[in-house]
Structure 1
Amino acid sequence: MIDRRSAILGTLAAGLSASAAAQTPPPARVGSRLPRLPDPTETIDLWPAGAPGAPPKLPVEVVVDRATDAAVTDRAVQGIARPRMVVFRPAKPNGSAMLVMPGGGYVRIVVDREGYEIARWLADRGWTVFVLFYRLPGDGWAAGPNVALSDAQRAIRLIRARADKYGIKPERVAAMGFSAGGHVCGDLATRFAEDTYTPVDAADRGNARPDAAALMYAVQSMALPLAHPGSRTLLLGPSPTPALEYAHSTASNVTAATPPCFLLHAENDRTVPVDNTLAFRAAAIKAGVAVETHLFATGGHGFGMSRAVGKPVALWPTLFAEWSHTQGFG
């Protein structure tokens, strides 16, 4: 059933058997109220023959409008069966690319607040932006806790493989993640070289290491009490071993090969405690990784850009832009 609060993409299953040249559209608009700004239309499917390790029954993609303000678009999508990137092309490309991984607690992916908002802001400044709709670990994919990382690795490799098409310099491909998407980004920044899937084409010979990583109020630890309980359960199951928790806590995987990192958190975040970011920062410093950290007293969790308006934390995009310039971006 489709109503003004949700849209089920009933044609997705048919699209899974379509030609590889036919790309899956972006997550749907919802109801009669149109987004404040037009949605992008260009997408890139990650896996030409369909995502590997599919469960016997594919998840059904559902888009829900969670907005409480008529002036703000706030959609979330779950049941990603066809992982893909939505492309934001700048009017004047500056040679830099950004892979954005929205959050959603590994149960959904926040489309607008942690995806399209920052994508538009970056594209206005010359970045070519790719918003990643990654598979969710609770949907039964064979890769289990590595499923979102597989999509992120594949995404970075595809971006580099198509650098000429988008006017991108292959050595200027960054990654940014929010909340649980920050965990995906942290995984990518620290475990980029792990073999999490079988190569499918020439793009998979490329490097999956981002040249910089921005972790925004990111889930990091998988050990209680620091872990975000919902993300932990969906990623690792209800009773993970300490060894499994450690293996999927991003701070435990930081090495000298981890790219420069930009970290952002609000100290009054009651969903993902700020100590997640502090632990990652400590690990980066210990490993000799360049790390810039911005902590704000207030802001809570999930502020993105629109919920930061009128607060000191609203400065974060400018702080990131200034930092990225020091890293050779822009």
Structure 2
Amino acid sequence: MGIDRRSLIVSSLVAGLAVRAEAQTPPPLAAKALPPGLPQPFETIDLWPQGAPGAPSHALTETVDERSTDPLVSDRAVYGISRSRMAVFRPDRPNGGAVLLMPGGGYRWVVVDKEGYEMARWLAGRGFTAFVLFYRLPGEGWASGPDTPLADAQRAMRLIRHRARDLAIDPERVAAMGFSAGGHVCSDLAARFAAPVYKPVDAADRLSAKPCSAAPIYPVVSMDSAIAHSGSRRLLLGSAPTPALEIAHSPERNIPADAPPHFLLHAEDDDVVPVENSLRLRAALKARGIPVETHLFLSGGHGFGLRKAVGKPVEVWPDLWRAWARTTVLG
């Protein structure tokens, strides 16, 4: 069977990137034998070639906890991240769009499977190149403190754009999606994409960190103690933050006039992150004239991702996002 020119080019690019991936930090290691039949990422992109800025005085040990007791289901969480990086999921038939995924974990850790790899596989199956971001945690001693996850998210967006040609994506079609505390990273990125939270390190940092759209899913948003997720708030801001610090890290208080369109989704019975987080963000976006689509479900709880939504009305949420995405530049 003959090989057309496009296939040859794509094969060459993949081969070249595979060589490049060898020099990168591998994805978080499995804590047990992985379930069969689920593709694991082999390609990663380190965010900081000379090491992340503002390292803590004590060395961090990256640790992966396996929280599942089911041999057919993996539910890993990672903390002690010093080499922040993206795990790359490439589609068989790329559509040119890309999504940066920011899993949750209450800023205590970063979830690997439930809000990372599972969603990445879903996106790749629909033509999107997906990047799962393993961001540094703000409570682990980094000099940038509460700006640490945002610095990683900004850098990730810029690197994706900088390598767009090699990755076979359109640099104007890079979206962001985050879950729970990762939803805070996502909404903070959508609000403060231009904030100077780290010193530029190379040519990639001349590019915009603004996502073409943002999808915070059951997100932590506000640092107002009345509705904040207390664990995320404490690990992000400390035990006694000033009102000014609360405002600075509440995305709904920092929406710029050029914020990207948003897709918001929350269950009203969420007993971990109150639905008021999404409602306040929606009101702030509407006040600025930013397009926002909002879906509220009567039930679903918190942290449903894909697997825990099955059999419930909320299981339609990924298709709702996909239908909405078609109305944006992500297409």
Task: Give the TM interval when normalised to the shorter protein.
Answer: over 0.9
Contact 2:191/2:251, CA 8 A, preserved across alignment: yes
Contact 1:153/1:192, CA 8 A, preserved across alignment: yes
Alignment pair present for 1:25 and 2:2: no
Equivalent residues in 2 for 1:107-126 (5 A)?
107-126=108-127
- Aligned residue-pair number: 312
**Unmatched tracts of structure 2, length 5 or more:** 1-19
For 1:20 and 1:269, the matched residues in 2 are separated by: 39
For 2:102 and 2:177, the matched residues in 1 are separated by: 6
Partner residue in 2 for 1:155: 156
For 1:82 and 1:35, the matched residues in 2 are separated by: 28
Letter of the structure 2 residue corresponding to residue 228 of structure 1: H
Secondary structure at the aligned position of 1:22 is classed as: coil
For 2:59 and 2:306, the matched residues in 1 are separated by: 33
Q: CA deviation at 1:29?
A: 1.2
For 2:314 and 2:291, the matched residues in 1 are separated by: 22
Partner residue in 1 for 2:246: 245
Deviation readout 1:54-101 (Å, 9 max, x if unpaired): 011121111111114333221111110100000000001101010000
Letter of the structure 2 residue corresponding to residue 311 of structure 1: K
Letter of the structure 1 residue corresponding to residue 303 of structure 2: G
For 1:176 and 1:315, the matched residues in 2 are separated by: 16
How large is the Cα RMSD of the aligned pairs? 1.3
**CA shift in 2, pair 1:258/1:176, >3 Å:** same
Deviation readout 1:181-210 (Å, 9 max, x if unpaired): 000001100000010001000000000000
**CA shift in 2, pair 1:32/1:97, >3 Å:** closer
Percent identical: 63
Alignment pair present for 1:294 and 2:295: yes
For 2:258 and 2:79, the matched residues in 1 are separated by: 33
Contact 1:98/1:128, CA 8 A, preserved across alignment: yes
Partner residue in 2 for 1:183: 184
Equivalent residues in 2 for 1:300-315 (5 A)?
300-315=301-316
Deviation readout 1:287-311 (Å, 9 max, x if unpaired): 0000000000111000000010000
Letter of the structure 1 residue corresponding to residue 177 of structure 2: M
Contact 1:90/1:127, CA 8 A, preserved across alignment: yes
Partner residue in 1 for 2:70: 69
**CA shift in 2, pair 1:258/1:237, >3 Å:** same
Contact 2:220/2:229, CA 8 A, preserved across alignment: yes
For 2:304 and 2:49, the matched residues in 1 are separated by: 34
Partner residue in 2 for 1:79: 80
What is the TM-score of this pair, normalised by structure 1? 0.92
Contact 2:60/2:82, CA 8 A, preserved across alignment: yes
| Runs of 4+ residues over 4 Å off in structure 1 | none
**Unmatched tracts of structure 1, length 5 or more:** 1-18
Contact 1:35/1:73, CA 8 A, preserved across alignment: no
For 1:35 and 1:281, the matched residues in 2 are separated by: 41
Q: CA deviation at 1:255?
A: 2.1
